[in-house]
Amino acid sequence: MSTKGIVKGIVSNLVTVQADGPVAENEICYILSGGTRLMAEVIKVNGDKASVQVFESTRGLKVGDQVEFEGKMLEISLGPGLLSSVYDGLQNNLATMESVFLKRGEYTDPLDREKLWDFTPLVKPGDKVSAADWLAQVKEGWLPHKIMVPFSFKGIFTVKSIKEAGQYKVDEVIAVLGNDAGEDVPVTMVQKWPVKLAVKAYREKPRPNRIMETGVRVIDSFNPIAEGGTGFIPGPFGCGKTVLQHAIAKQGDADVIVMAACGERANEVVEIFTEFPELIDPHTGRRLMERTTIICNTSNMPVAAREASVYTAMTICEYYRAMGLKCLLLADSTSRWAQALREMSNRMEELPGADAFPVDLSAIISNFYSRAGMVVLNNGQTGAVTFIGTVSPAGGNLKEPVTESTKKAARCFYALEQNRADQKRYPAVGPLESYSKYLDYPEIIEYLDKTVEPGWTGKVHTAKNLVRRGKEASEQINILGDDGVPMSYHINFWKSELIDFVILQQDAFDTIDALCPMERQRYMLDLVLEICKKDFEFEDFEKCREFFKNLINQLRQMNYSAWQSEQFYSYNDSVKKLIA
């Protein structure tokens, strides 16, 4: 007998229920109200009273309404067809609907039950298997989608039978597994998993040992993110968080991309809806959407659905990681997620932490970030989930709790600066405040030595120091005036401008400049550092400015020219002449 209950109190989306049996935190329940069934999640249990957050508008809900507890946590369905889908946080399929907004109490099927998939078995009767082992493979777009032993299965199973190669629907039994107790367990292509529990379907989770290229210079060259690494992008409104995240989504070296558009303004979400399906994958020339899943929640959807969306997105990534794939998870913005936590915590009248966020905000954020990572699967292959979230601190204040908590959890910090955005120095990532802790990992240093060039990290530090020196020089020039400082200050300032304009700035809307491969990044940084090594002499600061402006102009033309094209080399030649 499952537990039932009665609504005792309603504060916006927070409903108090008196239960007639055991109830667990994070358990799902349905409230029966005026002919609809509204999904809700238990967030706190106190004696026979449960506080539940309703995933929809509670309009019309009354004290005395019936509640049915499900005895399980919020789950999503995992199987072929997740890619190219657009879901809300509860995995309702939005693409099959007429509008972005579901009717209340309406839940749609996340997977296409009728579609036939090209199926190839990977095991044979008699083989021993356990949770997450690969039983078969279907073709999802151009990716090999592994049909796995459900993650929830415990112990060793013997394959009793497996379907032969052919075309099957997701709900067909494709294998029968025998367990220790001598029972036969049927397996289909779909399994369910509770989103708030990390999928631990791997042998070990070593430290990341290679970088994930994004084609964005300020990331790859200056503050690289590891494959299986974590990073975040804080920045005030309009400084380019979404543009930068979309650039990473389009260009990141990953097999699978999951975008969680979490609580941003509705028009931004609609943009993703309309823009993403049109995008062409620069790596394969195919539609980017073929390997993308989008999870959407706009700021006008209830907070609880917003909270679920980041977990749903992470679970989908973990599922594809278990297939040995490289996944990239992007969440925009995690501040909206934290605000959802705050709203619920405040409604429950919990003792508030800083800025009224829940006291365990830091732990919640850390737990979430820790689900990313590179893993070694039971079969020895590797998979990765790389996670980059944006944070929108109110008023650009980086001392607020969400930014501070995220800083503790994420290893890369890409701080977007208002003054850089105002000067149109895009992407507005601050070169001195931002960092990548991966630059200190011996594994990563070695990887960069091998794949980019020997001593690469040393060059990156040199470039950063030149930017720092340039900033100091510019402060002195501002105080003492152009004529009040020695010429070396002007030269230092212009060397840092050179790095800024040629390496750090990048036009996300130019087809050539937007994506800068690592080989090209290496060439440009080497060239710029070679220039910076020179001892220049000028008659006066105006000559100095004129010289560097001209030089920067030629170098930028190189960025806009196709890599190693005639045009590229002709600008390269004029640069060489200028510095001769």
Which residues form the interface with ligand ADP (CB under 6 A)? Answer: 235, 237-243, 426-427, 507-509
- Between 263 and 302, whose beta carbon lies closer to Mg ion? 263
Direct distance between the N- and C-terminal alpha carbons of the chain, in angstroms, rounded to an integer:
85
Compute the least distance from the CB of residue 364 to ligand ADP, in Å: 23
- Between 68 and 507, whose beta carbon lies closer to ligand ADP? 507
- Between 242 and 561, whose beta carbon lies closer to Mg ion? 242
- Between 449 and 507, whose beta carbon lies closer to ligand ADP? 507
Partner from ligand ADP, Mg ion, none contacting 507, C-beta within 5 to 8 A by type: ligand ADP
- Between 241 and 407, whose beta carbon lies closer to ligand ADP? 241
Residue-wise DSSP of 114-171: S--EEEEE---TT-EE-TT-EEEEEEETTEEEEEE--TT--S-EEEEEEPPSEEE-TT
Contact 34, 26 (CB under 8 A): no
- Between 46 and 267, whose beta carbon lies closer to Mg ion? 267
CA distances from 353 to 390, 401, 527 (A): 22, 9, 50
Compute the least distance from the CB of residue 157 to ligand ADP, in Å: 47
Q: Report the amino acid identity of residue 94.
A: L
Partner from ligand ADP, Mg ion, none contacting 455, C-beta within 5 to 8 A by type: none
Compute the least distance from the CB of residue 332 to Mg ion, in Å: 6
Rounded Cα gap, residues 3 and 200, in angstroms: 29
Beta-bridge mates of residue 138: 119, 145
Rounded Cα gap, residues 406 and 362, in angstroms: 7
Compute the least distance from the CB of residue 403 to ligand ADP, in Å: 14
- Between 217 and 246, whose beta carbon lies closer to Mg ion? 246
Beta-bridge mates of residue 159: 177
Rounded Cα gap, residues 140 and 324, in angstroms: 15
Question: What's the sign of the alpha-carbon dihedral 292, 393, 243, 276?
Answer: positive
- Cα–Cα nearest to 72, from 29, 117, 9: 29
Compute the least distance from the CB of residue 514 to ligand ADP, in Å: 8
Compute the least distance from the CB of residue 505 to ligand ADP, in Å: 8
Partner from Mg ion, ligand ADP, none contacting 401, C-beta within 5 to 8 A by type: none
CA 545 to chain centre: 41
Contact 65, 83 (CB under 8 A): no
Q: Considering CB under 5 A, how many residues would be counted as binding Mg ion? A: 2
Rounded Cα gap, residues 296 and 102, in angstroms: 12
Label residue 527 left, alpha or beta by phi (over 0 means left) and psi (-120 to 50 means alpha). Answer: alpha
Partner from ligand ADP, Mg ion, none contacting 239, C-beta within 5 to 8 A by type: ligand ADP
Residue with the shortest CB distance to ligand ADP: 240
Residue with the shortest CB distance to Mg ion: 242
Partner from ligand ADP, Mg ion, none contacting 426, C-beta within 5 to 8 A by type: ligand ADP
Partner from ligand ADP, Mg ion, none contacting 5, C-beta within 5 to 8 A by type: none
Compute the least distance from the CB of residue 262 to ligand ADP, in Å: 12
Q: What residues contact residue 409 under an 8 Å CB cut-off, 6+ apart?
A: 230, 362, 365, 366, 368, 369, 370
Compute the least distance from the CB of residue 241 to Mg ion, in Å: 5
- Between 279 and 508, whose beta carbon lies closer to ligand ADP? 508
Partner from Mg ion, ligand ADP, none contacting 243, C-beta within 5 to 8 A by type: ligand ADP
- Between 479 and 509, whose beta carbon lies closer to ligand ADP? 509
- Between 147 and 416, whose beta carbon lies closer to ligand ADP? 416
Contact 212, 383 (CB under 8 A): no
Compute the least distance from the CB of residue 558 to ligand ADP, in Å: 18
Q: What residues contact residue 224 under an 8 Å CB cut-off, 6+ apart?
A: 211, 212, 412, 436, 438, 439, 444, 448
Compute the least distance from the CB of residue 398 to Mg ion, in Å: 17
Compute the least distance from the CB of residue 413 to Mg ion, in Å: 18
- Between 157 and 426, whose beta carbon lies closer to ligand ADP? 426
- Between 46 and 267, whose beta carbon lies closer to ligand ADP? 267
Partner from Mg ion, ligand ADP, none contacting 509, C-beta within 5 to 8 A by type: ligand ADP
Checking DSSP bridges between strand 435-436 and strand 175-178, what pairing results, if any? unpaired
Partner from Mg ion, ligand ADP, none contacting 69, C-beta within 5 to 8 A by type: none
- Cα–Cα nearest to 288, from 241, 244, 256: 256
- Cα–Cα nearest to 369, from 435, 416, 417, 317: 317
Compute the least distance from the CB of residue 556 to ligand ADP, in Å: 14
Contact 131, 152 (CB under 8 A): yes
Compute the least distance from the CB of residue 81 to Mg ion, in Å: 29
Compute the least distance from the CB of residue 241 to ligand ADP, in Å: 3
Contact 295, 309 (CB under 8 A): yes
- Between 145 and 246, whose beta carbon lies closer to Mg ion? 246
Partner from Mg ion, ligand ADP, none contacting 445, C-beta within 5 to 8 A by type: none
CA distances from 123 to 152, 163, 174, 176, 187 (A): 19, 10, 11, 12, 13
Q: Is 389 helix (H, G, I), strand (E, B) or coil?
A: strand
- Between 271 and 453, whose beta carbon lies closer to Mg ion? 271
CA distances from 121 to 135, 159, 162, 439 (A): 6, 12, 7, 42
Region 194-253 residues binding Mg ion, contact defined as CB under 5 A: 241-242
- Cα–Cα nearest to 201, from 73, 367, 410, 383: 383
Partner from ligand ADP, Mg ion, none contacting 237, C-beta within 5 to 8 A by type: ligand ADP
Partner from Mg ion, ligand ADP, none contacting 485, C-beta within 5 to 8 A by type: none
Question: Which parts of this chain interact with Mg ion (CB under 5 A)?
Answer: 241-242
